[in-house]
Amino acid sequence: MNKTTRAFLCSCLLVMWSSLLPAQEYNPIPVAMPSLLFAPDARGGGMGDMGAATMPDLYSQHWNAAKYPFVSSQAGVALSYTPWLSKLVSDIHLLYASGFWKLGGDNLDALSASLRYFSLGSIDIADMNGDFWQTVSPHEFALDLAYSRRLSETFAGAVTLRYIRADYSTGSDETTPGNAVAADIAGYNESYLSLGHSEVLLGLGFNLSNIGTKISYDGGTNSYFLPANVRLGASLGYPVAKDHTLSLSVDINKLLVPTPQLAVEGETAEEAQQRIDDYQAISSFSGLFKSLGDAPRGLEEELQEIMWSVGMEYTYLNQFSVRTGYYHENEYKGNRRYFTFGAGFRMKSFQVDAAYLISTAQSNPLDQTLRLSLGFDIEGIRNIIR
């Protein structure tokens, strides 16, 4: 494996997110399989990559599975496709499928599942002499199963179990497929408030995601943190007029992963290696708590690690939707900043959504990313067939 390929795989695309910033200040949090946090659907993608508390829909599995008991239909499935990093390469893409089914006739609980496949394209591997050896197709894979239940008239909770596999194998002993397990804990509250002469729908949600083991790509010699994350969200749906609804939403999230300690002036090679070893020795469980107060520059840097997004959705007749949003990440923590735009069309049996991303950060490889999603209401399809 050549050096370029090794860096690409081990960093899991993190280097692609970086900007030309001073090395002594640029301190992003490295995680394995960052694709677990990529917005897979076009509805959430069209509103600035958010969904902790947006109105429940078929795509809720990734953002907050606790929203499913509030979905009006009994069952549904959804498919999404994203050609990722299209400005850099042409063969990296994210495929995502999700579905849910309400149990019983009381609409209190639901089962849901999703399958995520992130292809890193094809990579040519050279031998020791620099000659072509073989082509490999590294990929990442995650399978979810969630149970959600309505615990009161307005609140529901959910637990998600996740199996994760990453295969960057090159046919040699340098890399082996990595496996990990994780869980999500989520909650969603939906209530109505009086605002003037109108009733507005207030949604509040949270999701603790990817809480699990570490993952290794070399048989256990080195282990890496999964992108454990806490997401909080709020959404307000306001009926502007008959058949016209405007929703305003906000999400904030933070990685629950320890911050790397920066090198100090005059540090010896042994001290640098010890610093790296100490970071590697942190367990995934203790890392959750350590991540809340371990930034080298104190509170200022901890606040820099908070990412936020705002979004808006206008819906007519509950069928036609247009959306926009903005996502912000601090320049020293990844520098992902972009506007998103989207649209959707919904019928009784299916819905289609599209979203487009325009970066505001210089040299952002996420610029001009397109997402497409297609959802099917199982009950609506049955009514058509009958």
pLDDT at 125: 66
How many Å apart are CA 76 and CA 270, to the nearest integer? Answer: 56
DSSP assignment string, 136-149: E--EEEEEEEEEEE
Tens-digit pLDDT profile for residues 1-36: 443 343 334 444 333 333 334 444 788 999 999 999
AA letter at 291 = S
pLDDT at 105: 77
How many Å apart are CA 194 and CA 245, to the nearest integer? Answer: 15
Average pLDDT over residues 152-176: 87
The range of the structural domain enclosing residue 59 comes to: 3-21+33-385
Q: Is residue 26 one of the residues assigned to a domain?
A: no
Q: Is residue 289 one of the residues assigned to a domain?
A: yes
**Residue 130 banded pLDDT, cuts 50, 70, 90:** low
pLDDT at 10: 40
Instruction: Identify the residue whose tokens are 């995502």.
Output: 96
Q: Is residue 28 one of the residues assigned to a domain?
A: no
**Residue 361 banded pLDDT, cuts 50, 70, 90:** confident
Q: Is residue 27 one of the residues assigned to a domain?
A: no
Q: Which residues contact 139 (CB under 8 A, 6 or more apart)?
A: 117, 118, 119, 120, 166, 167
Q: Which residues contact 9 (CB under 8 A, 6 or more apart)?
A: 1, 120, 138, 168, 175, 217
Structural contact between residues 45 and 24, judged by C-beta atoms closer than 8 angstroms: no
What's the CATH code of the domain at 180? Answer: 2.40.160.40
Tens-digit pLDDT profile for residues 255-301: 999 999 888 878 888 888 888 889 989 999 999 999 999 998 899 99
**Residue 349 banded pLDDT, cuts 50, 70, 90:** confident
Structural contact between residues 217 and 168, judged by C-beta atoms closer than 8 angstroms: yes
Structural contact between residues 217 and 205, judged by C-beta atoms closer than 8 angstroms: no
Query: Is the per-residue pLDDT at 111 higher than 50?
Result: yes
Q: Which residues contact 3 (CB under 8 A, 6 or more apart)?
A: none
pLDDT at 206: 98
Cβ atoms within 10 Å of 386's Cβ, excluding its own = 5
Mean pLDDT of the chain: 87
* Nearest residue to 135 (alpha-carbon basis) of 94, 175, 174, 171: 171
Query: Is the per-residue pLDDT at 243 higher than 70?
Result: yes
pLDDT at 127: 61
Cβ atoms within 10 Å of 163's Cβ, excluding its own = 14
Q: Is residue 241 one of the residues assigned to a domain?
A: yes
Tens-digit pLDDT profile for residues 260-269: 988 887 888 8
Q: Is residue 309 one of the residues assigned to a domain?
A: yes
How many Å apart are CA 311 and CA 327, to the nearest integer? Answer: 9
Tell how many helices (H) and how many strands (E) occur in the chain. 8, 16
Question: What is the pTM (predicted TM-score) of this model?
Answer: 0.87
157: Cα separation from own chain's centroid:
19
Q: Is residue 164 one of the residues assigned to a domain?
A: yes
Structural contact between residues 200 and 213, judged by C-beta atoms closer than 8 angstroms: no
Structural contact between residues 87 and 386, judged by C-beta atoms closer than 8 angstroms: no
Q: Total domain count for the chain?
A: 1
**Residue 233 banded pLDDT, cuts 50, 70, 90:** very high
- What the block records as the tokens of 335 is 């520098």
Q: How far is CA 306 from CA 26, 183, 233, 286, 303, in A?
A: 15, 21, 13, 20, 6
Q: Is residue 119 one of the residues assigned to a domain?
A: yes
Pairing of strands 306-316, 350-359: unpaired
pLDDT at 276: 86
DSSP assignment string, 113-162: EEEEEEE---EEEE-TTS-EEEEE--EEEEEEEEEEEE-SSSEEEEEEEE
Average pLDDT over residues 377-381: 78
Average pLDDT over residues 212-241: 93
* Cα dihedral value 45, 362, 121, 333, nearest 10: -70
